[in-house]
Structure 1
Amino acid sequence: MENDRLLKLVEAYQKHFKQYNRPDYNETEVRNDFVNPFFEILGWDVQNKKNLPQHLREVKHEASVFVEENGKQVKKKPDYEFHVGSTPYFFLETKKPNVDIMASKEAAFQTRRYGWNGNLEISVLSNFTDLVIYDTSVRPNENDKPSVAQVAHFHFTEYVDKFDEISRLVSYETVISGAFEKTFENISSSLKKEPFDKYFLSQIKEWRLVLSEDIVKNNSTINQETLNIFVQKLINRIVFLRICEDRELEKYESLKNIGTYAELKKVFTAADKKYDSGLFELIDGEQFEISDSILVDIFKELYYPNSCYEFSIVDPFIIGQIYELFLEEEIVIKDGIVVAERKPEIVDSQGVVNTPKNIADIIVKTTLTPLFSDEKFTEWDSYRIADICCGSGNFLLSAYEFIINRYIEYYMKNCLDMAIQKGLLISDVGNNFKLSYEKKREILQNNIWGVDIDILAVEVAKFSLLIKLIEDSSLYEMESFVKNNNCRILPSLDNNIKNGNSLVDEKYIEFNSNILNDPEMVEKIKIFNWENEFEGEKFDAIVGNPPYIRVQNMVHFSENEYEYYKSEVSKYETAKSDLLDKYFLFMEKGLQLLKPKGKMGYIIPHKFMLIKSGASLRKLLSEKKCVKQIIHFGTEQVFKGRSTYTCLLFVEKNERKTFEIGFVKDINKFYATESAEMKEYPIEYLSAAPWTFLSNEIVRTLEKKKGKCQSLDSLADIFVGLQTSADPIYIIEPKSEEKGIIKFIDCNGRKQEIEAAITKPCIYDMQLEKYAKIEENRRIIFPYYQKGKKQVLYSIDEMKQLFPKTLKYFESFKEELCKRSINNMSENNWYQFGRSQSLKRFVKGEHLVWSVLATQGNYVYDTRTICFTGGGNGPFYGLEKKEDTKESLFYIQAVLNYWMIEMVVKSKASKFRGDYYSHGKQFVAQLPIYRINFDDSNEVKIHDAIVDTVKNLMELKNKRDQQQTKPQKETYKRLIQIEDKKLDGLISKLYGAENCRREDLDEE
């Protein structure tokens, strides 16, 4: 179907190619006739037939606005932006067919410049005759040849034959599947990749350092805090004015024409009179000297040819994310030497990680949508939205953007003519509606609030919000506003975004009155009294990404603060946990700061739902019955370059009757649809106990059989492996065995030999398969023998007599073995295992063995007492029946491998990449094992049938592994499937699960 459409489109273009190639056939015509249909065939909703709100359109068409720069007419925006949700993926710049884009340096530079400033992986250039894709992580230069940074090129005569390849690169399906990012992140190129965010970050870091060095050199009495604030404000002012130039609010190259610091101060004074936001007001250090040459060099770097910035395209959110990374470091003066160092709290939290814009937008949208409904329009002005750990303000930017877009949607839907007449909506040349500057200013002052402990982050948050305010507003509109309202252009945000410690109020003085006499501690703790700030008002919504900092790290950089949280004075319920994480406190404080019926949306690690230390937070949330929704990302990674397992948690300041949870299997599809398949549960399902999520059907089934079941640890003893504390020394891989002597290469690469009689079969670094035979892949040196019921270490004399080669081997590692932390170590026992636990488990008898990390049940029967090592985290666990357990071990094995019991494990367990999850003792010990009533002949019959079927399965798997050809193995695989299904049926009878769907195993 799509190929037919494409074929007709290409044939039509080819048939009248001479006509389309004439100078009078313009860009608008080629877009409408060919480019738009072409990208529709690639799956994009070019004409917005889905009727999405203006800000969520998949394809945004920009009006061609030209301005004068360096005596040239320069276009400020690309022709198309391709989006999924709120995330832009690539720009498309079009030219008329008469322009040879394969030879045009100007067209290539323009396209690459747009994409680079948009911080995008690629951008596309087309006149339909040709379609070129550029890598826009490579910084463009006006003199580059058109071929530089080219990723792909297609001539229109190739569109049909190479459609699959084009589709793989820029189709809608490619974007929402996640293939887009994977494809372009791995573009191999000899060119240096300098994406906008990394390049700009490196520049402002360099400016901070050279400015600081210069200021300290010229002003030796300056203190460290003043220096940091002054330099930060100076950079903010310069960047703000440069952004205003590209947004036509200041004359282009105004900064470039400044030659001295004195001139710059005059510009700042004029800007303060014009904008009046506090951004340009006099600050401490205004009198400091700065070398003019330093400033001139910085100004040069902001313009072509030193850079190709086009700040009219740069999203304020990207600026905020860059500053977030910038604020990881601070300037430190050491013996007169200026250096940039990571802040202590950043070191202990392993660095700043930006929240992706689409995640911030989804959290904001989910949290605020119930508030900003059409029915509540009259209340919109009064809503107070906060981020109480706002950092550089990215969640506040998302919230601000959301509210602006909701006003545009409301006016367009309900009162378009009135909104246009009153000047609330303004239409551009492309017939896109924008909210008036006055209304945006009003929203910023009425609706947006934030707090952060870092004064520099607060300055950046205000700075980013002001950039967002002036976005898409003309100087004429702003000047008209100033004239009509007798005020300056920008509002002050000092009352909206404040510096302080959201978690520490005046109760700290009661805890530690010494703070009143300790200026350094005052500055570090930054007591923040919520009753006094923001006129004592609470909030309708709180959003954000609170810091994830565990107590042991908190103690490193703020011991006094940590002790306050743990004290009775602080009143923090969640601080009672032994292993406190700071985000617990932000959840608790957020709930305190919400108005009745207020909403809160955070992204936090999901491990709190299961781990012991999360009990205090689970207790708080469950007792308040406030959880509304959980979006669980499982092992999907939200933060680039980090293994942080997270969820979105939405709560309300009112008691709820139900909550819902959805599990995200494909994060790219989630970003595209902004939704997950949700399941609803009664709110009572949540408690201080670990939160596990089974289907309602399974929960009901297990509940019915509750009286017939007992926990696994009441039938059997679960044990860990041997604890050598030096596995590479004790575990060996034999190369040969002859006459009772094993030859092998040790962990240092040396040839060794030992007596086989002192070794036992062992498994190491392997996955097990349920009902299959365990095949040893290593040997373990086991220097013990049985004496009565105990395992006793061979003495030195016994080793010399019975195992001299092994003793010699041990002696070659004596230094390493003696370094182990072992009680009562002496010259007579230095070669013993690190711990004596589980020694008796590996002598005789039957037991089950399983891998801790696995993707499914993998409990295997063993009578050969094959050894394994490991503690509470595995890699293996073992199980022995208790003496009074009547059920066969084969029966217990079958129940543990049963799909529904495995689902119980999966619902509780910690998740890891590759779909692995833990089968550790804490997740299996309480599994509900159906107890056979041996006085009931029917149950005995089922029990015996299960045992027989397990034995059949073990025999079939053994025979399968002995077959030589693939067809023979396939025959046994079919027989195994038949027996496996039979076994499921037998166990389902016992649990009454005949009608439960196995698909529930995969609900996550």
Structure 2
Amino acid sequence: MCQSKIEQIKLLRDRFYEIRKSNLYAISEEKVRSGFLNKLLEILGWDLSDITEVVEEKHIQGIARDRLREISSIHVKPDYILCKNGVPRIYLDAKNITEDFVNSKEAAFQIRSYAWSTNLPISLISNFEYFGIYNTTFKPNPNQAPDYKAIFFTIDDLIDNYSLYGPFMEKESVQEYKWPSHLILNEALNNSGNKTLDEDFFELLDNFRLQLGEALLHQMSGNFQKLNYYVQIIINRILFIRILEDLELETKGRLLNCLHSDNFWKKFTIDSVQDYEKKYDGALFSEILPRFNIDNRFFEEFITSITIESPYKFDVIPTNFISEIYDLYLGRELIIESGQLKIVNKPLSPEGAVPTPYYLAESLVRETLDLSELKKEEDLLNISVLDPCVGSGTFLIAALEVFSERLKEIRKSTSLNYEDIKRITTKCLYAIDLDPTAIEVLKMTISLKLLTGRYHIKEPLERILSDLAENFKYGNTIVQNDADIPIAEKNNQIPTDISILFPTMKDRKFDYIVTNPPYIEPKHFKKNWPETWKYLKGKYSFTDKVDISMFFLKRFFELVQPNGRVSVIVQKRFFRTEYGKLMRNYIVNSNGLNRVIDFKSNKLFKHKLTYIAGIFLDFSKVNEFVTYDINSFEVNSTYTNFDECFSTINIERRIKLLNSELENKIWSAEFFAIQNLVASKIKENRLTPLKNIKRINIGVGPQVLDSKFYFLSNAKDIGSEVISAVNRRKELVEVEKDVTRKVYRNEQVPQYIDFEQQGSLIVFPYTESGEFIRKDIMDVQYPKTLEYLKFMDKHSTCARVDDPDAFYRYTRETKLDSYNRPKIFIPMTILSVVAVFKEGDYFGDNSNINTIMDKYDDINYLKGLCCIFNSPIFNDFALCYAGEASGGYHKLNKQFLENVPIPNLSQENIDYFVDIFDKITATRLSLIGAFGSKKEYLENELNTYIYTCNNYIAQLYDLSDEDLEILRSVVND
């Protein structure tokens, strides 16, 4: 097959050289395209008549073409976009045979900018005689050498070395990103230092936001909500006009002309009132802003960056990309900190916002919206879709696309006009968000979606965005009008009546709900709005441990039509925890659950580790069965294969379950595989989950205020009462020995017993019985420690308790009197389970270590448990119940560990374990310092004891060979 292609390319080359020899100027750029590149692409497997494979950008019609003529513009977008299922893979630009693009900085910058702006890793230029392949994973600039991270070859090179150069244009290779292992490209493509478009553009917006904030700060009278809001509106308006310049809906250079005037903001404001507001109206320009006085210097860097020789090509940057960028942006805000204006993550998102990738949102929307039965336009336009926590609008952008496709099918048409798209938006799409800035962002992204679709718009442009935002409302989906909360909290939480927000929906509910509700840990919400938190728990009947997304999820059942559908992205933590059982059962008993997609990959969200699933509810039918799909498809490092992640062919495993099988059960593929064997053993009274053994307590150690200061290592006595040690800030400190305690951290736990005393120390300002030591007593008895804690108070950024005399108090004061009790420690983040037994004098780190104690402090019983916890069979069960973590690790926090079953132990079993535990630990002690033959003998002896112990434990679990095979296959999968 390859040889046949080469022979066809040879014939095409010979024809090219024949024409070139007779008349060089006969081969125009159009001839290069139509006569040679088109034919070459066809030889390489591309169907030029299929626009899901090849898009030829020269074919521009309508307003865009007219505007190009008006400004005497030569269209510069690359001539071909080579695609897979309509998703761009590579740009290919055709050049005239007389043009020396190989040495052209301008040509290289142009093609790099377009590909970088679309997140494509490489792009091509060709005049058929020569080919250039450009790496486009880094931010381009016009001064880069044309051959920087690029390779060039001729048509003869392609024929002579097809295996090296052919894959850069061959259909199958391009669509699957199967590039050859070429040194230059590999080195460049794998360079982790390259800035992607989203990283660079986010940084640009952040910097501009800070500059505008500084310009407006003194004009806002300290109102930071207003400051953030107006800064956002200004950014939206400027960016909107800049994008329209590249779309030729506005004259190119208009923003730059404003910058070159005496006062950019004054000139831009005049243009907004006299021109933009009349053209585009409501969504972005209707609100009259205060008379701000803003100097040109605050705009110069941003306007220059997006106009003069800019690498940002807004005519190809997708709207969904802008939406994802803004989702990150919405997780941050302007504040004054230490007398300086800064941008920080919002209090409820201390780690920053996590934008929903468009392809993930689109897959959920397409799975949910079933419009196929709608045969009339009026029926389609009567359908309602709500995103109740909309952010920047990713789900609604995807929904708009699905509605547009269906309307074309109903009309049996290949295109729609602008008014059709606007009608869908204003009649079918609804949104709520508690962040007013998010609503402004949504207005912009939806406006861009309408204007970037190249729909026919009647001219002159007049109020084309009017009424667009009527269904996009500021409000709170979960805090309703019955909330009796203090006025200070009410002003931030806005009790909301949905029927008042949307008068057209007063007597009906929504047909579809699609969203990714916010995941906010309870501690962050409780700290800021304690009374609202109490209201939410009571309103939705939840415990103190659930995150905010659970309130949203329960609320959706009240908002959707009796025959409607809901799809949501959720964090999977509640799938496996005891506190999540209420929500799981609520979903099951609704009779709407019909599918769960368990995404095993934790790289789906850029910049964040996330463990998510998609939940699909369909109330239009009785769902006797639930499909539980496992999707473990891995995105590549550049996220260019994202569109493939949610294809049905990438479902690794599909489990079909009776709906009733999910009630009171953990939701995970591993548990579904082993639940029957565990249930039968529990029924036979052979096994019991740890949480059901009343004498066992699984907890954690002290939760200190700031671990960077409280945790100490490398302790040395420097007197009878004082030690020196190093804190986690690498500072040498001195504290009194009596107010320190030994503590295990995650990486320090050995198996069975610890002879080397590997723990760290924590500063412990409490008595042996766990009573807080007051400041006046500390001052007398432990002055060095108090001095150090005052140093901590000055430099730590963690929140303190309200009492200034108790600033060093722990954030959680539970079981502080348990230091001397016997315990077993098991790390929470594991590759495999490791357990160590200590008779006393140790705490476990609150954030890293499970602490297991016995109600009766029975040392023998705890030794038996330690043996079981270190056994392979317990490890396999634990991995089935554990949560997900990155890098092959698992989370074995209490909520996962407590579900793991262990054998019910008789006194005879305990006596056996005590004997074998003591033999194992005695042999380990003997091994310290052993060498030669004696060391070899002791190691064999130790292995025999452990092997014998593990076999004994396996007999207590009483699993058949078939059961063991099931368990091992689940763990090794």
TM-score normalised by L of structure 1: 0.70
**Paired residues of 1:137 and 1:196 also in contact (CA < 8 A):** no
| Aligned counterpart, 2:617 | 651
Q: CA, structure 1 residues 492+619, in 2 after alignment: closer, same or farther (shift >3 Å)?
A: same
Q: CA, structure 1 residues 623+343, in 2 after alignment: closer, same or farther (shift >3 Å)?
A: farther
Q: Give per-residue Cα distances to partners, 1:439-482, cap 9 Å, x unaligned.
A: 222221222111222333222212221221122335xx321799
Among 953, 970, 973, which residue is 1:1001 paired with? 970
**Paired residues of 1:276 and 1:491 also in contact (CA < 8 A):** yes
Q: Helix, strand or coil for the counterpart of 1:661?
A: strand
**Paired residues of 1:176 and 1:671 also in contact (CA < 8 A):** no
- Residue 916 in structure 1 maps to residue 893 in structure 2: no
| Aligned counterpart, 1:62 | 57
Describe how 1:84-483 pairs up with structure 2 within 5 A. Answer: 88=88, 90-95=90-95, 99-120=99-120, 122-127=122-127, 129-135=130-136, 137-141=138-142, 144-148=144-148, 150=149, 157=157, 159-160=161-162, 162=164, 171-174=174-177, 187=191, 197-198=201-202, 201-202=205-206, 204-205=208-209, 208-209=212-213, 212=216, 232-257=232-257, 259=261, 261=266, 265=270, 268-281=273-286, 283-285=287-289, 288=291, 301=304, 304-305=307-308, 307=310, 309-328=312-331, 342=343, 345-346=346-347, 348-368=349-369, 370-372=370-372, 379-408=379-408, 410=409, 419=412, 424-425=413-414, 434-473=415-454, 477-479=456-458
| Aligned counterpart, 1:545 | 516
Q: CA, structure 1 residues 984+528, in 2 after alignment: closer, same or farther (shift >3 Å)?
A: same
Q: Helix, strand or coil for the counterpart of 1:265?
A: helix
Q: Helix, strand or coil for the counterpart of 2:398?
A: helix
Distance across 2 between alignment mates of 1:407 and 1:448: 15
**Paired residues of 2:712 and 2:761 also in contact (CA < 8 A):** yes
Among 644, 665, 670, which residue is 1:672 paired with? 644
Distance across 2 between alignment mates of 1:232 and 1:778: 52
**Paired residues of 1:62 and 1:79 also in contact (CA < 8 A):** yes
**Paired residues of 2:563 and 2:619 also in contact (CA < 8 A):** yes
One-letter identity of the residue aligned with 1:667: E
How far does residue 137 in structure 1 lie from its aligned partner after superposition?
A: 3.7
How far does residue 356 in structure 1 lie from its aligned partner after superposition?
A: 1.6
How far does residue 594 in structure 1 lie from its aligned partner after superposition?
A: 0.6
**Paired residues of 1:392 and 1:460 also in contact (CA < 8 A):** yes
Among 878, 893, 897, which residue is 1:905 paired with? 878
Among 711, 727, 730, which residue is 2:688 paired with? 711
Among 586, 597, 601, which residue is 2:563 paired with? 597
Distance across 2 between alignment mates of 1:987 and 1:69: 85
Among 527, 540, 546, which residue is 1:573 paired with? 540
Q: Helix, strand or coil for the counterpart of 2:580?
A: helix
Q: CA, structure 1 residues 63+927, in 2 after alignment: closer, same or farther (shift >3 Å)?
A: same
**Paired residues of 2:574 and 2:581 also in contact (CA < 8 A):** yes
Q: CA RMSD in A?
A: 6.3
**Paired residues of 1:630 and 1:661 also in contact (CA < 8 A):** yes
Distance across 2 between alignment mates of 1:298 and 1:988: 69
Distance across 2 between alignment mates of 1:463 and 1:818: 49
Q: CA, structure 1 residues 30+694, in 2 after alignment: closer, same or farther (shift >3 Å)?
A: same
| Aligned counterpart, 2:804 | none
Q: CA, structure 1 residues 896+47, in 2 after alignment: closer, same or farther (shift >3 Å)?
A: farther
Larger radius of gyration, structure 1 or 2?
1
- Residue 18 in structure 1 maps to residue 10 in structure 2: no
Q: Give per-residue Cα distances to partners, 1:775-830, cap 9 Å, x unaligned.
A: 85848999xxxxxxxx99xxxxxxxxxxxxxxxxx999998799999xxxxxxxxx
How far does residue 75 in structure 1 lie from its aligned partner after superposition?
A: 2.7
- Residue 47 in structure 1 maps to residue 51 in structure 2: no
Q: Give per-residue Cα distances to partners, 1:268-304, cap 9 Å, x unaligned.
A: 43444444445443x3347x36579679959963874
One-letter identity of the residue aligned with 1:34: L
How far does residue 382 in structure 1 lie from its aligned partner after superposition?
A: 1.9
**Paired residues of 1:731 and 1:778 also in contact (CA < 8 A):** no
One-letter identity of the residue aligned with 2:17: K
One-letter identity of the residue aligned with 2:74: Q
**Paired residues of 2:359 and 2:642 also in contact (CA < 8 A):** no
Describe how 1:854-1003 pairs up with structure 2 within 5 A. Answer: 854-856=830-832, 870=844, 875=849, 893=867, 897=871, 899=873, 902-919=875-892, 923-925=896-898, 927-929=900-902, 990-991=959-960, 993-994=962-963, 996-998=965-967, 1000-1002=969-971
How far does residue 103 in structure 1 lie from its aligned partner after superposition?
A: 1.4
One-letter identity of the residue aligned with 1:265: I
Distance across 1 between alignment mates of 2:952 and 2:283: 74
Q: CA, structure 1 residues 521+251, in 2 after alignment: closer, same or farther (shift >3 Å)?
A: same
| Aligned counterpart, 1:807 | none
Q: Give per-residue Cα distances to partners, 1:179-212, cap 9 Å, x unaligned.
A: 9999867526799999662365257526744763
One-letter identity of the residue aligned with 1:31: L
Percent sequence identity over aligned pairs = 20
**Paired residues of 1:732 and 1:746 also in contact (CA < 8 A):** yes
| Aligned counterpart, 2:805 | none
Count residues in correspondence: 888
**Paired residues of 2:78 and 2:93 also in contact (CA < 8 A):** no
One-letter identity of the residue aligned with 1:117: S
Distance across 1 between alignment mates of 2:972 and 2:70: 57
Q: Give per-residue Cα distances to partners, 1:477-499, cap 9 Å, x unaligned.
A: 321799xxxx8534412322122
Distance across 1 between alignment mates of 2:758 and 2:710: 12
Q: CA, structure 1 residues 154+989, in 2 after alignment: closer, same or farther (shift >3 Å)?
A: farther
One-letter identity of the residue aligned with 1:110: Q
One-letter identity of the residue aligned with 1:62: E
Among 9, 27, 50, which residue is 2:33 paired with? 27
| Aligned counterpart, 2:775 | none
Q: Helix, strand or coil for the counterpart of 1:435?
A: coil
Distance across 2 between alignment mates of 1:883 and 1:330: 51
- Residue 494 in structure 1 maps to residue 469 in structure 2: yes
One-letter identity of the residue aligned with 1:317: N
Distance across 1 between alignment mates of 2:139 and 2:425: 36
**Paired residues of 1:386 and 1:539 also in contact (CA < 8 A):** yes
One-letter identity of the residue aligned with 2:248: E
**Paired residues of 2:702 and 2:844 also in contact (CA < 8 A):** yes
TM-score normalised by L of structure 2: 0.72
Task: Give unpaired runs (5+ residues) of structure 2.
Answer: 636-640, 717-722, 733-741, 763-767, 770-781, 793-799, 801-814
Distance across 2 between alignment mates of 1:750 and 1:521: 44
One-letter identity of the residue aligned with 2:368: T
Q: CA, structure 1 residues 727+440, in 2 after alignment: closer, same or farther (shift >3 Å)?
A: closer
Q: Helix, strand or coil for the counterpart of 2:523?
A: helix
Q: CA, structure 1 residues 639+979, in 2 after alignment: closer, same or farther (shift >3 Å)?
A: same
Q: Give per-residue Cα distances to partners, 1:909-951, cap 9 Å, x unaligned.
A: 232222222445654455444569999xxxx9xx99xx99x99
Distance across 1 between alignment mates of 2:37 and 2:942: 58
Distance across 2 between alignment mates of 1:734 and 1:230: 53
Distance across 2 between alignment mates of 1:7 and 1:108: 28
Q: CA, structure 1 residues 525+243, in 2 after alignment: closer, same or farther (shift >3 Å)?
A: same
Distance across 2 between alignment mates of 1:982 and 1:309: 65
